[in-house]
Structure 1
Amino acid sequence: MPPADLPTNQVHPAASIDPTLPLRADLLLDQPGAPWQPLARPLLAAVHATGHRIWLSGGASRDLASDVPLHEVNDLDLAGTVPAGRFTDITYQTMRATRMTEFRTTVTPGTLVCAVTPPWNNIRVIEYRGLSQGGFEFPLIGSRIAEDSRHRDFSFNTLLYDVLDHVVLDACGTGLVDLRAEKLRFAPRNESTDPATQAMILFRALKFAVRWHDRGPHDLAPLAAWLDGLPPDFFDPLTCDDWSGLRGAHRRSVTAPVDRQHEFADLLPEPGRSFLRTLIGRAS
């Protein structure tokens, strides 16, 4: 059953987007050799058995809807209505039932993101975040899908995929269009005034742009309009810890040549250009 808080025109049968999409979603969950493969389906079933809802989100749903080869999906992002502590309990019980207790579960206090990591490294193979609730100085979940979409970075990352009903939930109403357009449209969603959040949105714009360089040129007009609303010195308040986190994220996920990174930075108006050039320099 589609969520009650989304209009019907924002709930799309997966097959109406791409007839192969339901099959691709099933293949993703059951992909042989994928580190999440023994756990994914039992975990989703266990969550649904409690009466909560859970969906593929973020990179997993975005990459499915944009025909990215399944072997390029490195982890499963999940979103749902389960509180973080309850999700961790369900995950642990599911890992016991599937004899995967060597895997580890963590909850990051600052974000309430739950993660599952394998014993052989610290790379998260499953990440779960409850639907975000804004307006508080501390992380809180328990909102509705439309509210949660206002805390994502870009419209193409607001998409949710229901693996039971095989429907795509376009929580902001433009995610599918922006993702599948001839020119990938970078439309920021997060309205936070926190400089660290704004800096992370710009970093992620760089990450996605260079990753999808072959899909370019991109539609950067919405991103430019968003930048126009930022103070010229918006990143001056960033702390040493903020810069350290940005450098670490950059080194983990941006492998494109530096020239290509600067090429993207130069497409942006200030203060985006100066910020990205600073980040690229510090991370190189």
Structure 2
Amino acid sequence: MDRTGRRVRDVVGTPSLPQQRGDGRTGPILTGDTVEDRPVVGFACTARTLPTARDDQLVLGGEEEAGHPPLRSTDPADQPSLTRTGPHPCEQLEPDRIHRPDDIRPGLAGRFQELLHGPRSLPFTAPLIERLAASGHHSWLSGGAPRDVVTGAGPGGVHDLDLTGTAPAGAFTEAARAVLDLDGLSAEHVQRFNPATLTCAILDPVARTHGPTLDYRGLGLLREATRFPATGSDLLQDSRQRDLTVNTLLYDPLRDLVVDPLGQALDDLGDEPRQGPLRLVPALASTDPLARAEVLLRGLKFLLRWHRRPGEPDDEPLRAWARALPADLLDRIDARGPDTWHHLAALWEQCVPDPTAPAVAEAVQRLGTVASRLHARLLTEAA
């Protein structure tokens, strides 16, 4: 049943998929496929600057603990032993986790369409999604945009777009460059690549730091899945490496569907936008100490952002998770070296703009001892 009480199969139906399952599928290699009789774990990148598809590297089972990515093409034509055993992401989820926007709230489909095609939209976003689809890659809006649109924000309230999908970094960057060059209004947009996270950004050419941006990263893997940055093509794995369940919501622009991979995001956002109970529930399945510290900081950000929302947010799940963290979490982070603390300090500045405000101290205290120690350490790092 969906949130309106109707059978989802009757509402959503069975939208056509861009590829077929199993050995009948064509197109890009996906996680869960096998190459050289080993499962495909994910996709790494060997570029330090803007990558091309040649820089994308296939990671197979048994290579997760290597100190650097392998050198293995992601092009199916270069992998004669490829067996299509991995399902397409669109086939992974049960029907009750897939919703037509207007069945969640009347008019929601129009808001999503305006976000992609309206006067304030980034003009290259829709053509880029279509170009990726033409090469067999699927894309979803992720992060704040689907969360905020579902809870009542208009397209004007969404300043940046996050996109995720099955394309590795190099394949995405090549597609983006082709689309930007074809669009006379967008050719001057600047592309950036972060090799530490495999995030690809398209920035406004005039206001590079404050203008609208589009950020892309392939579907995520748990941080401990590989010792080097890598992405995947599994919707559930992607959700389990995100911070809160409310941030696992995705929008599928090709099929005009809201996707809730864990089956929790819509419920935790509340039944009535910006009026009903909102639950702060960690989605993270990782035991990596850095990933846990990042969730603490992002949880603090949303706790501060939403504490004035009518009907105080239910932060008990977040508090219980935070108080169960190992007491030596900071010691484990120390073992990573000073660069790890520089990374956390930068994230802390984004999440907590006024760290000495009384509301911050109260929120940190609510999250327990480990959160208090982390906050105190970051205050020291910033001094």
Q: Same fold (TM over 0.5)?
A: yes
TM-score (norm 1): 0.90
Give the equivalent residue in structure 1 for 2:279. 185
- Higher alpha-carbon deviation: 203-212 or 6-15: 203-212
Give the equivalent residue in structure 1 for 2:374. 275
Q: Could you say if the C-alpha distance between residues 251 and 229 of structure 1 is closer, same or farther in structure 2, counting changes exceeding 3 Å?
A: closer
Secondary structure at the counterpart of residue 131 of structure 1: strand
Measure how far apart 1:33 and its partner are: 4.2
Choose 1 or 2 for highest CA Rg. 2
Give the equivalent residue in structure 1 for 2:93. 6
What do you get for the CA RMSD once the two structures are aligned? 2.2
Whether 1:109 and 2:185 are equivalent positions in the alignment is no
Give yes or no for contact 2:112–2:155 (8 Å, CA) kept in 1.
no
Give the equivalent residue in structure 1 for 2:131. 46
Measure how far apart 1:280 and its partner are: 5.3
Q: Could you say if the C-alpha distance between residues 277 and 7 of structure 1 is closer, same or farther in structure 2, counting changes exceeding 3 Å?
A: same
Q: Could you say if the C-alpha distance between residues 246 and 133 of structure 1 is closer, same or farther in structure 2, counting changes exceeding 3 Å?
A: closer
Secondary structure at the counterpart of residue 235 of structure 1: helix
Whether 1:62 and 2:147 are equivalent positions in the alignment is yes
Letter in 2 for 1:270: T
Measure how far apart 1:39 and its partner are: 1.1
Measure how far apart 1:178 and its partner are: 0.7
Give the equivalent residue in structure 2 for 1:226. 321
Q: Could you say if the C-alpha distance between residues 230 and 259 of structure 1 is closer, same or farther in structure 2, counting changes exceeding 3 Å?
A: same
The 2-side partners of 1:57 and 1:105 are apart by: 19
The 2-side partners of 1:186 and 1:277 are apart by: 23
Determine which structure has the larger helix proportion and give its number. 1
Give yes or no for contact 1:251–1:283 (8 Å, CA) kept in 2.
no
Measure how far apart 1:262 and its partner are: 1.6
The 2-side partners of 1:28 and 1:280 are apart by: 38
Letter in 1 for 2:97: Q
Give the equivalent residue in structure 2 for 1:240. 338
Q: Could you say if the C-alpha distance between residues 196 and 32 of structure 1 is closer, same or farther in structure 2, counting changes exceeding 3 Å?
A: same
The 2-side partners of 1:107 and 1:81 are apart by: 17
Match of 1:154 among 229, 238, 244: 244
Unaligned stretches of 5+ residues in structure 1? none
The 2-side partners of 1:211 and 1:153 are apart by: 15
- Higher alpha-carbon deviation: 80-89 or 224-233: 224-233
Instruction: For 1:161-176, list aligned pairs within 5 A.
Output: 161-176=251-266
Measure how far apart 1:277 and its partner are: 4.5
The 2-side partners of 1:261 and 1:282 are apart by: 17
Percentage of pairs with the same residue: 37
Q: Could you say if the C-alpha distance between residues 281 and 260 of structure 1 is closer, same or farther in structure 2, counting changes exceeding 3 Å?
A: farther
The 2-side partners of 1:223 and 1:148 are apart by: 20
Match of 1:131 among 208, 214, 219: 219
Letter in 2 for 1:194: D
Q: Could you say if the C-alpha distance between residues 282 and 67 of structure 1 is closer, same or farther in structure 2, counting changes exceeding 3 Å?
A: farther
Moved over 6 A (4+): none
Give the equivalent residue in structure 1 for 2:25. none
The 2-side partners of 1:23 and 1:126 are apart by: 21
Measure how far apart 1:95 and its partner are: 0.2
Measure how far apart 1:127 and its partner are: 0.8
Give the equivalent residue in structure 1 for 2:78. none
TM-score (norm 2): 0.68
